[in-house]
Amino acid sequence: MATFQCSSCGQEIKPAVRCPHCGADQPQWVEHLAEIERSIAEMKAREAAIASEQRQIAAKMQAALFQRDILAHAGEERLKQATRPRRVLRRRAGRRPPTAT
């Protein structure tokens, strides 16, 4: 915590409205308080920006994971189709199809 020099007696004091030694009013505490308030406001604004960015990144990640799962599933199906033996219907010589008269 910052310390100030009393404008009346010259002793080092913590931020306060009045000097604990001589009782004189201390104007610098108002400036210090305003500086702290500005700092808090800047941190809150930055926190809100970070939270917004985090939500956007989470949404993009969820979409990417969904697309990855779809593509992985499609690839697995394609491999299954490629490795599955194909059934080829062949006619025996001399046999006619059942629909032929």
Q: What is the pTM of this model?
A: 0.51
Helices (H) and strands (E) in the chain, counts: 1, 2
Are 8 and 19 in contact, with CB atoms under 8 Å apart? yes
Over the stretch 37-83, which tens digit does the pLDDT of each residue have? 999 999 999 999 999 999 999 999 999 999 999 999 998 888 888 77
Are 23 and 7 in contact, with CB atoms under 8 Å apart? no
In whole angstroms, give the CA distance from residue 78 to residue 70.
12
Q: Domains of the chain: which residue ranges? A: 4-80
* Other CB atoms within 10 Å distance of the CB of residue 56: 10
The residue that leads in pLDDT, 40 or 3, is 40
